[in-house]
Structure 1
Amino acid sequence: MSTSTSTYTAANSVAIVGLGWLGEPLALTLLAQGYAVSGSTTCQDKAKRLAKAGIQTQVWNINAPLPPVWSATLAAHTLVLCVPPGKVDDYANILGQVARLATSSGVQRILFTSATSVYAGIGHKIEADAAPDSARGERMLAAEQAVQGCGAQVLCLRLSGLVGGSREPGRFLAGRSFDGGNEPINLVAQEDLLRFIPAILAKEDWPSRFNMSAPHHPSRRDFYSQAAEFRDLPAPQFSGGGQGKTIDGSALSEWLGLDYQVTNWFDWLAERNKQHED
């Protein structure tokens, strides 16, 4: 991993650690908007492909021992940490180390893609309500705290369930049995992420956290049954009711002055199915 102690603070420079389902299309979106974009991946072939597209790409597995100084390839004004917890052995500790290393090199801001697993129980949830009741939620909240302690300006973007692109919701639960059919869904589409995150990067007055969740919350039974039907897959079977929690993503929308594109998940499913058939 090439390293450098120099800083690169041009305001339009962004490095994305984790060029995966979200990170790769985000990098391409930002590049098209005039940003200087770099990023990291564990895949050599992907690194070569993205480099040809104009994205400086570092092959890096952050589970390996961290370098003493930040990579010259990833030198940037803003860092987007886009690494899901399943990809990292000691999630909070390692992400905290990565954030501190980046900050020591001159990174000014960090956008951390967290998750709404930090919320527990039932009912309406806003940003102040974080109180995890699962190991995943506790790990995510610990990671938020570790990244926020790095010394840079940090915004934790708590994402609801991710759909769109290669993430086909019709396949998620097809043919399986679950409890809690009446529980509301909390999802965010890739297309809205690719609209909202660039808008966040264009702002300067970052708060410490925001939820991102589409404003429509139909039941799991209704949504996943319809999603499976559109893909000609066996419908999931739900027993019991369940109240669940509803994630409120309106504060981010209001702060940006930007409405969610997906306001009805059944319309979204129908349009996605139409595109699939075409």
Structure 2
Amino acid sequence: MIKISILGCGWLGLPLAKRLIENGNSVNGSTTSENKLPILKDAGINPFLVALESESVSESINTFLAESEILIIDIPPKLRGNQSFSNPLEMTFVRKIENLIPFIEKSKVKKVLFVSSTSVYGDQNDLITEETNPNPETESGKQLLLAEEMLQKNQNFETTILRFGGLIGKDRHPVTSLSGKENLTNADATVNLIHQNDCINIIEKIITQSKWNEVFNAVARFHPTRAEYYTRKAKEQKLALPKFSSEKSNIKKIISSEKVESVLNYQFELKNY
């Protein structure tokens, strides 16, 4: 049995915790909502109310990390669009991770898995691998990359970075927000998505195979155009069709998951995403 702490039991963290418990592990899970504590407890998770702020961290963080060998950080930056912070003191997500690190250092955690995003690559017109130099364009991508670097450079623990593409699942799909909209851009840009089930499976593989001090990209091996894919999904779900601009896109980014498949010996689930 491994003792694991999951910082952020949300859309991905909660079902991940359930899977890890099913496989015989003990899981501490955090939430920022007091109302969610009973939900975590009912799932067999040791529940903790932990608020990670740019100025401070909840006192419960020490107990949350106590005795854990592995920490999974799955908290989104929650930064909107291209908002830019010229002052380093305003880099809120980076400061949250910076405040967290000393607590990891003095705990028994020796392995950290940081859930990041392929947004750190920006809109490069290329086949993207883990060897591609990140070039984030959004504030969220910029702060994720800085957080990655802080964790990777720390010598007190080993960090694996897991960069997911667009997250989808049975209760989460971008077509619902695109339905009925007009003049959408980047019609012929490719999609880079990953299903919740694959996210959980890959995290399990990293833990069971002890793949630390690594960087992995993770998206499904299918890359239709935005117009083709979202039009088809709208029809399947009987939603109003999205309408795309005829203007050609110069974004042809394809994220490669070859490393996940070869190093972890992982096969993506065959799903009609």
TM-score (norm. length: structure 2): 0.87
* 1:167 counterpart residue number: 172
User: Number of residue pairs matched?
Assistant: 255
Mapped contact 1:157–1:212 kept (Cα < 8 A): yes
Q: Are 1:236 and 2:242 an aligned pair?
A: yes
Structure 1's 108 and 165: CA in aligned 2 closer, same or farther, altered over 3 A? farther
Mapped contact 2:65–2:109 kept (Cα < 8 A): no
Q: Are 1:247 and 2:255 an aligned pair?
A: yes
* 1:127 counterpart residue number: 130
**Which residue type is aligned with residue 235 of structure 2?**
E
Map 1:37-186 onto structure 2 (within 5 A). Answer: 37-63=27-53, 65-67=56-58, 70-75=61-66, 76-86=68-78, 90-120=92-122, 121-129=124-132, 130-150=134-154, 151-176=156-181, 177-186=183-192
Per the TM alignment, residue 205 of structure 1 is displaced from its structure 2 partner at its CA by 3.8
- Tell me the distance in 2 between the aligned counterparts of 1:237 and 1:67: 46
* 1:276 counterpart residue number: none
Per the TM alignment, residue 204 of structure 1 is displaced from its structure 2 partner at its CA by 2.1
Structure 1's 69 and 42: CA in aligned 2 closer, same or farther, altered over 3 A? closer
Q: Are 1:203 and 2:206 an aligned pair?
A: no
**Which residue type is aligned with residue 18 of structure 1?**
G
Per the TM alignment, residue 67 of structure 1 is displaced from its structure 2 partner at its CA by 4.8
Mapped contact 2:29–2:40 kept (Cα < 8 A): no
Q: Are 1:218 and 2:224 an aligned pair?
A: yes
Corresponding residue to 1:28 among 18, 28, 35: 18
Please state whether the residue corresponding to 1:57 is helix, strand or coil.
Answer: strand
**Which residue type is aligned with residue 254 of structure 2?**
T
Structure 1's 69 and 194: CA in aligned 2 closer, same or farther, altered over 3 A? closer
**Which residue type is aligned with residue 72 of structure 1?**
T
- Tell me the distance in 1 between the aligned counterparts of 2:57 and 2:40: 23
- Tell me the distance in 2 between the aligned counterparts of 1:92 and 1:40: 19
**Which residue type is aligned with residue 261 of structure 1?**
E
Please state whether the residue corresponding to 2:131 is helix, strand or coil.
Answer: helix
Structure 1's 25 and 68: CA in aligned 2 closer, same or farther, altered over 3 A? closer
Please state whether the residue corresponding to 1:268 is helix, strand or coil.
Answer: coil
Runs of 5+ unmatched residues, structure 2:
81-90
- Tell me the distance in 1 between the aligned counterparts of 2:130 and 2:71: 22
Tell me whether 38-47 or 89-98 shows the greater mean CA deviation: 89-98
Per the TM alignment, residue 65 of structure 1 is displaced from its structure 2 partner at its CA by 1.7
Per the TM alignment, residue 79 of structure 1 is displaced from its structure 2 partner at its CA by 0.3
TM-score (norm. length: structure 1): 0.86
* 1:7 counterpart residue number: none
% identical aligned pairs: 29
- Tell me the distance in 1 between the aligned counterparts of 2:34 and 2:79: 17
Supply the RMSD in Å over aligned alpha carbons.
2.0
- Tell me the distance in 2 between the aligned counterparts of 1:22 and 1:186: 18
Corresponding residue to 1:188 among 185, 194, 204: 194
- Tell me the distance in 2 between the aligned counterparts of 1:249 and 1:163: 17
Please state whether the residue corresponding to 1:39 is helix, strand or coil.
Answer: strand
